[in-house]
Structure 1
Amino acid sequence: MEKSKVYFTDMRVTLRENLPQKLHRLLKTAGIGNIDFEKRFAAIKIHFGEPGNLAFLRPNYAKVVADTVRELGGKPFLTDCNTLYVGGRKNALDHLDSANENGFSPMTTGCQLIIADGLKGTDEELVPVEGGEYVKEAKIGRAVMDADVVISLSHFKVHEATGIGGALKNIGMGCGSRVGKMEMHSSGKPHVDQSLCVGCGSCQRNCAHSAITIADRKASIDHSKCVGCGRCIGACPRDAVLPASDESNDILNKKIVEYSWAVLHNRPQFHISLVVDVSPNCDCHAENDLPIVPNVGMFASFDPVALDLACARAVNSQPVIPGSLLDQSDRSCGDYFTALHPTTNWKVMIQHGVKMGLGSSDYELIRV
C-alpha cells in the first residue's frame, strides 16, 4: 500500500515570496487542484478564536485557502459550530461577533462566514457512523454536511483534554453541534445551576421528553426521563443548564475520531495545519500562554491522520522555549504533550483514526 503524503514548508521567506504566497504554493504542490471544485460549495473548517486569545490563525491564512478554492472554480465559506461552554461563541450571533473582533470577515478573507449549526447550535444533521465504537449517530452542523467539499485549516497546538489539537480535533469536535459536543464530552446528562436559573421556562418548552419541571422559579431535570439531547443547553438564556463533562480522555479522543468519520466519509477533502504559536492549551481559552516551541511551519495532506502525526512529531523534535510552561514541566516521559497534560494520550486519536479508515500512520514527509 502506498504511503500517505504529507507536504511541509517552513516559515522562512524570501524577497520574492511571502508567507501567504508560500502557503498557496504548498497547497498547489500538495495537490489541492486534484479536487473538482467547479461550482461546488467548499466548507473551510477553522477556529475563529475565543476573544482574548491571540494564538488563533490569522485571517490572512484563511484568505489564501479561500482564494485558492475560488481560483479552482469553487464556492468557499469559512465555518465553525457553536461551543458547548459559555463564552464568546455560544450562539451564532456572538460567534460571528467574535470572529469579526478577531479579524474574520468577507472583506479580510474573501468569502462568507457561516456558523454551521445555526443560531442556537441546534441546526444539525444526524449522520450514521458505520463501525463506530462509541458513536452510532453523529450530530453534525448542517452547513458542513450541505457542503460538497471539506477543507480543514487547523492551528496545531497542545490540548488539555485530547493531548493535541490538530486536523481531527478541528473536524470532529469542531463540526459537532452543541448536542454533538455534549455527546463527545459527556457520558452523563445536563443539570441546572440553581443559582443562575430564573425559571423562565425556555428549557422546559424545548424539552421533548417532559424531563424538566419548574418549581419556585427554578428548573430541575429528571434524569430518568432525560435522553441527553442537550436542547435545553442551547435554549437557556442565562447559561444555567450545564453539560456533564465526565468522559475519559481516551474515549473523548475516540469519539472525536468517529465524529470526524461522519464528516469526512466518502467526501472530497483536504487538510492544512499550521504549526505556529504552539500554545499549551486550546484556542477556546480566552487567553493564550507563551508558545512552548519555536514556529515549525505549514503542513498539508489528503490524510488527516498522517497530518496530525507528522505535526506532533515535528513539535516533539523542537527545542523548548525558555520560560514556557513546557520548560517548567517534567519532560522525562519524552513527549511534550504528555508532559504538559499527563492524563492525555494523543496517540489514541491516531490509532483510532487508522482503525476507522480515516488515514494511515505510514507516511512520506515531502519538503516544499
Structure 2
Amino acid sequence: MKKANVYFTNMRVRPEGRNLQQKLAFLIRRAGMDEIDFKDRFAAIKIHFGEAGNLSFLRPNFARTVADEIKARGGKPFLTDCNTLYVGSRKHALEHIETAYINGFTPYSTGCHIIIGDGLKGTDDIAVPVPNGEFVREAKIGRAVMDADIFISLNHFKGHEMTGFGGAIKNIGMGCGSRAGKMEQHCDGKPAVERERCIGCRACARICAHGAPMFRDGKAEIDHAKCVGCGRCIGVCPKDAVLPSWGQQAGLLDRKMAEYALAVVHGRPHFHISIVMDVSPFCDCHPENDVPIVPDIGMFASFDPVALDQACADAVNSRAPNPDSILAEHGSSHHDHFKDVSPVTNWEIQLEHSEKIGLGTRAYELIEI
C-alpha cells in the first residue's frame, strides 16, 4: 500500500513569526484540507470538549482556527461530540453543552455552534453499515454526525487506560458512537441496576421497547434475556442507578472502535488533525488530568487517520519521559511509553485492524513544515 502523507509542524514560535493558530492554519492548508469543496456544505468538526475538572483538553482556539478555515471556503462548520456512556458532566446534551461552554467552547470563542451528535439523551442515532466489518455489522452513530456532508476530526493525542492511546481513531469511532454505540464497543454485557439508587420511577420501563426492566419490591432490575443493550435506560434514569457493564474481551474494544471509525468516514470527504501537547497519561474523560508523560511535540494533519495515529504514536515514543510524570515512575521496561503507563493495553491492535478493514495505512511519509 502506498505511504500516506502526514504533515507536521512543531510548537516553536519566534518573534515576528507565526503564532500557533497561524501555524495550524498553514499546516492544514499544506496538508490539503482546502482541496475539499466546502461551499454551502455542513462540516462536522469532531472534538472532545473535556470533562469537568480536566484541563488537558484542546484549547478552543484550535477549534476556532479550523472553523475559520472552513468558513473562509464557504462551509458551514459546527463542533460536535456524542454523549457519554458513563455518569459524568456530559451524560446528556444539556450537561454536555454546559461543560463545553465552561471549558471555553462558546460560539463566540470558536466561531461556530455546538450540536451534540446523538441528541438530548444519547438516543438519536442512525445505523450505519460497516464495510468489511468483522465485529460490527451496523454502527450506531449520532445522527447529526452523519447528517454532515464533510467530517473533520480534531483531536488531543494522549494516553488511554483501555486502548493505550487516544488519537484520531478513538476520537472518531468511540466519540461518534451514540450511547448504544458506546455500549456495543465497550461492553460484552448489558446494563444493571444499583438498587440503592433506584427510586422506582419506571422511567427505564417507559423508554424500553423490549420490556427488559422488571420491578421487585419497587426497585428496577434488568432482564438480560430481553435486553438488547441499547443503553437508553442509562440515559433516562434520573438517579444514575442504571449502569453499563464494562466487561470486554482483550483487544475487542480496539477492533470495534476501528470499525465504528470506518462507518463514520466512509463515502464522504474527511480530514484529520492531531495536536500532540499536554500528553496526559489517561483519557480526557477523567475529571482530572495528570502531568504530561512527554513534553509538547507539535501538530499533525493527514487525510489518513491510521497513518496520523501511527505518526503521533511514533513521535511520542521517540521522546524522553517527563521526569515528573507517571511514565517516569513506571520506567521503560516495555520500551513503549503507552504500554509502560498502562501495561494491559496494546495500542497497535487498533492500527492493525484499521489497516486490515481499509480505514487507512500505517505506512506514512512525515512532511515537516
Query: Which bracket does the TM-score occupy, shorter chain normalised?
Result: over 0.9
Residue in 2 that maps onto 1:44: 45
Determine if the alignment matches structure 1 residue 116 to structure 2 residue 117: yes
Q: CA deviation at 1:91?
A: 0.2
Residue in 2 that maps onto 1:161: 162
- Separation in 2 of the partners of 1:288 and 1:342? 19
Q: Which of 125-134 and 309-318 deviates more?
A: 125-134
| 1:186–1:244 CA contact under 8 A, matched in 2 | yes
Determine if the alignment matches structure 1 residue 241 to structure 2 residue 256: no
- Partner deviation per Cα, 1:50-100 (whole Å, 9 max, x = no partner): 010000000000000000000111100000000000000000000000000
Residue in 1 that maps onto 2:272: 271
Q: CA deviation at 1:212?
A: 1.2
Determine if the alignment matches structure 1 residue 326 to structure 2 residue 327: yes
Amino acid at match of 2:59: R
Residue in 1 that maps onto 2:21: 20
SS across alignment from 2:352:
helix
Amino acid at match of 1:67: D
Q: CA deviation at 1:215?
A: 2.7
| 2:179–2:230 CA contact under 8 A, matched in 1 | no
Determine if the alignment matches structure 1 residue 339 to structure 2 residue 332: no
- Separation in 1 of the partners of 2:216 and 2:178? 30
Amino acid at match of 2:6: V
- Partner deviation per Cα, 1:105-163 (whole Å, 9 max, x = no partner): 10000000010100000000111213211111110000000000000000000000000
Q: CA deviation at 1:32?
A: 0.4
SS across alignment from 1:25:
helix
| 2:330–2:341 CA contact under 8 A, matched in 1 | yes
SS across alignment from 1:326:
helix
Amino acid at match of 1:102: N
- Partner deviation per Cα, 1:301-324 (whole Å, 9 max, x = no partner): 000000000000000001111121
Residue in 1 that maps onto 2:208: 207
Count of equivalent residues: 368
| 2:64–2:110 CA contact under 8 A, matched in 1 | yes
| 1:161–1:249 CA contact under 8 A, matched in 2 | no
TM-score normalised per structure 1: 0.99
| 1:125–1:139 CA contact under 8 A, matched in 2 | yes
Amino acid at match of 1:305: V
Determine if the alignment matches structure 1 residue 35 to structure 2 residue 69: no
- Separation in 2 of the partners of 1:228 and 1:99? 28
Residue in 2 that maps onto 1:78: 79
SS across alignment from 1:174:
coil
SS across alignment from 2:260:
helix
- Separation in 2 of the partners of 1:65 and 1:279? 23
| 1:79–1:115 CA contact under 8 A, matched in 2 | yes
Q: CA deviation at 1:248?
A: 2.6
Residue in 2 that maps onto 1:7: 7
- Separation in 1 of the partners of 2:128 and 2:214? 31
Q: CA deviation at 1:250?
A: 0.7
Q: CA deviation at 1:210?
A: 1.1
Q: CA deviation at 1:280?
A: 0.3
Residue in 2 that maps onto 1:179: 180
| 2:45–2:78 CA contact under 8 A, matched in 1 | yes
Residue in 2 that maps onto 1:149: 150
Residue in 2 that maps onto 1:290: 291
Residue in 2 that maps onto 1:316: 317
- Separation in 2 of the partners of 1:112 and 1:223? 39
| 1:338–1:344 CA contact under 8 A, matched in 2 | yes
- Separation in 2 of the partners of 1:95 and 1:179? 17
- Separation in 2 of the partners of 1:140 and 1:351? 23
TM-score normalised per structure 2: 0.99
SS across alignment from 2:175:
helix
SS across alignment from 2:171:
helix
- Separation in 2 of the partners of 1:350 and 1:332? 22
| 1:9–1:299 CA contact under 8 A, matched in 2 | yes
Work out the percentage of aligned pairs sharing the same amino acid: 62
| 1:204–1:210 CA contact under 8 A, matched in 2 | yes
SS across alignment from 1:127:
strand
SS across alignment from 1:175:
coil
Amino acid at match of 1:232: C
> Structure 2: 5+ residue runs without aligned partners?
none
